[in-house]
Chains A and B, each alone.
Chain A
Amino acid sequence: MKPRHKRFVFIAVALAGVGLAVGLVLYALRGNVNLYFTPTQVFDNKVPKDRSFRIGGLVEAGSVKREGDGLTTNFVITDMYKEIPVVYKGILPDLFKEGKGVVAEGKMGAGGVMVAEQVLAKHDENYMPPEAADALKKAKAMEAADALTKGGAANAAEKVAMPTNAPVPVAK
């Protein structure tokens, strides 16, 4: 073995060792690295007691209610299995909307309601102009109607995927 082969093996072994160590550390930390808990985890008693934590999920459609003082908002966070009601007093981010992602930080209050100190909006990784978003919504509605009239998922194979390559008018 030439010296440079030795050095190569040494570096390869060192890198593999560090990779393994980091992998084990991350595996040990796996739950703690998550930014938020899901409502299901709250119901499974996986959240810290008497301490502030974050819940993440979607704002349930039709659940947002504003109180008379104009600052307090009540809404429900859902992960499609369980729901957690949240009350928050403060200014909501622009992207806070029903049916969209949200992360709320606070403590569980009386009656299983989270009293939030901070509410953050979580947006998705899809970018499209408003016309495309409308077209997508319409296509989905049509598909749903089709499925109802034809009595089955006949068009399931032709599901409208993200229209990344669809000809989309440029907004001016």
Chain B
Amino acid sequence: MAINWFKYSSPTTFYGLAGKMIPWFAIPAAILFAIGLYMGFFVAPVDAQQGEFYRIMFIHVPTSILSMFFYLIMAGYAALGLIFNTRLSAMMASAIAPTGALFTLISLLTGALWGKPMWGAWWIWDARMTSQLILLFLYFGFIALHASIDEPRRADRAAALLAIVGSVNVPIIYFSVKWWNTLHQGSTIKFSGTSMQITMQHTLLTMTIACWLYAIAVVLARVRSIILERERKTDWISELPEVRS
């Protein structure tokens, strides 16, 4: 039996699949957020240097990692859409952008709240923070460029190009603390191991997975509404039970 790999690459079939998948991501996300926040506030020990302040890391680090990761995923979908001319890929890229921008914003704001008591400054123009700010502007630019072109397929192509070009910023953010002198400390989680106590690591991992699942659920919900909006003139949409009633 030959499997049709491209069955779910059409908006028609993916719309139903996405609707069925949402609870499978949303419910575990809620459970893991509850566990992660409890561990972060009550189970993880205080830090020897930073005391209680370091706990903001449990939201700062997951959102920072995922803001970079989702940019690459978004650029990947945009490239797929550009190369294969598939409609769904471009819709996925548009669906990821607002969540990526939200995570970048949370990462910058929590970083500022952490920086003031620990470093003595809300903001400083060091390489890590400046490149992360550029990531926020890239997300905003992608959303704005897409919204400024009326014809959806042309908007997809223009925004896709911006997303692909912008992806060179991601390795710059990641390696900035290695390449230059920055106020921001080096990476705690490295490919070679993690310089963090084990309970703190587990809490961080729980929060990261929770954020990740939340993002998938939200992106699936958003891509469903994008499909509805862009395919509204087609027959299959007018035959959907939720549209007919």
Give the interface of A toward B (CB within 8 A).
4, 7-8, 11, 14-15, 18-19, 22, 26, 30, 33-36, 38, 56, 92-96, 100, 103, 118-133, 162-165, 168, 170-171
Contact = CB atoms under 8 A, between A and B. Distances in A.
B43 A125 contact: no
B66 interface: no
B50 interface: yes
A128 B168 contact: no
Interface stretch (B26-34, B145-153, B180-188, B209-217): B180-188
A11 B48 contact: no
A120 B199 CA distance: 29
19 contacts: A7-B82, A8-B83, A11-B82, A15-B167, A15-B168, A19-B168, A33-B179, A38-B181, A92-B120, A100-B49, A120-B120, A123-B118, A123-B119, A124-B186, A127-B50, A127-B197, A128-B48, A168-B45, A170-B45
Given A92-B120, A129-B197, 14 more contacts: A4-B83, A4-B84, A14-B161, A15-B168, A33-B179, A93-B117, A118-B120, A120-B124, A123-B50, A127-B196, A131-B45, A164-B194, A168-B198, A170-B199
A164 B82 CA distance: 45
B85 interface: yes
B201 interface: yes
Contacts of B48: 128-130, 132-133
Nearest to A133: B48
A38 B124 CA distance: 18
A33 B128 CA distance: 10
Interface residue tally on B, bucketed by range: 35 or more
Nearest to B190: A125
A35 B54 CA distance: 23
Nearest to A119: B120
Interface of B: 43, 45-50, 54, 57, 79, 82-85, 117-121, 124-127, 161, 164-165, 167-168, 172, 179-183, 185-188, 193-201
Given A18-B168, A121-B120, A127-B197, A170 B188 contact: no
B133 to A, nearest CB: 14
Contact of A122 (B167, B168, B183, B194): B183
A11 B181 contact: no
A126 to B, nearest CB: 5
A164 B197 CA distance: 5
Contacts of A19: 168
B183 A120 contact: yes
B197 A95 contact: no
Contacts of B179: 26, 30, 33
